[in-house]
Amino acid sequence: MQKRTLGRSGLEVSAIGLGCMGMSFSYGPPADRQEMIRLIRSAVDRGVTFFDTAEVYGPFTNEELVGEALAPVRDRVVIATKFGFKLDPDGGPRWAGLDSRPAHVKQVAEASLRRLRTDVIDLFYQHRVDPEVPIEEVAGAVKELIREGKVRHFGLSEAGVRTIRRAHAVQPVTALQNEYSLWWRGPEAEVLPALEELGIGLVAYSPLGKGFLTGKIDEATTFDGTDFRNTLPRFTPEARKANQALLDLLRRVAARKLATPAQVALAWLLARKPWIVPIPGTTKAHRLEENLGAAAVQLTPDDLRDVDRAAAEIAVEGARYPDHLEALTGR
């Protein structure tokens, strides 16, 4: 597996990471715990060194899963987790707003360290910007955790450019985690140029459009009642039918490259910038193999121009989030 460095931070990770959220949260009932431990460890065996989780995934259970799976190989991997939500301390499924007060950030760090079975969090993201807490205070809290040796790197997720600059002035931001893919290109206008200027890496979550860009979802697909895609405007049957045009594009390129649509979607991201690292998630071993195979798919400048030209003519239907969730992004 090739390696990439997130911005100018010196944090080196595998070119493709593994998003672990779906193993226990959001995409239907949790998968079998022992199977997921085996899957995570098989990813390590295949060269993956970058694993993403958060306290809110579960909540808490995903960090515990990742901690158990990676404990035997802790010195070989980079673990990213996140803070910033108000959660039921008893593990209830609901979150009740945001909380990035410095005291809470430090409490979350201590709890995450225990669940992850580690002495240090490699990358600690603010999960969503809290408008009630100045970002300078948040960055300062993480700076203290870094000074204490409990955290190595500071990250933000779905933050706006102004917030990124203010945070970076207090504690250098190593990575911004944002949704980014061929079907959500919002970061391109302002965020990517700012990250390049500041030397901050981009960790692309949902690089396969929450499964849509794999080509395995169409307007007839039904999701489990607990799957959060049921709540997303972009996943209505009408939107899925309209958005097949984007899949047709991926399939055409995939046929030329002897690859799959998912591999082309990931290869496109890897080709955008050398400091972009996608973190596709999966619960299936064969999908893990497929995703990691994207690192070997080489898109030429002509390929990229063709994809961009064709994609520009496709209007993706449906908002990516309902209004109340979209309101938490870009602050």
Place of tokens 């672990």: 20
Nearest Cα neighbor of 40 from 30, 27, 50 is 50
Q: How far apart are CA 179 and CA 278, in angstroms?
A: 9
3-class secondary structure per residue, 232-249: CHHHCHHHHHHCHHHHHH
Structure tokens at 216: 């395995």
Burial class (CB in 10 A: 0-12, 13-18, 19+), 188: exposed
Structure tokens at 102: 């410095």
Place of tokens 């673990």: 79
Structure tokens at 167: 């945070």
Residue among 27, 57, 125, 205 flagged as catalytic: 57
SS3 at position 307: helix
Q: How far apart are CA 115 and CA 55, in angstroms?
A: 9
Computed on alpha carbons and rounded to an integer, the radius of gyration of the chain in Å comes to 19
Is the separation of the CB atoms in 149 and 110 below 8 Å? no
Look at strands 85-87 and 78-83 and give their pairing: unpaired
Q: How far apart are CA 52 and CA 209, in angstroms?
A: 17
Look at strands 276-278 and 201-205 and give their pairing: parallel
Q: How far apart are CA 58 and CA 236, in angstroms?
A: 25
Structure tokens at 129: 């910007």
φ and ψ at residue 52, rounded to 5 degrees: -115, 130
Is the separation of the CB atoms in 243 and 183 below 8 Å? yes
57: annotated active-site residue: yes
Which residues are known catalytic residues? 57
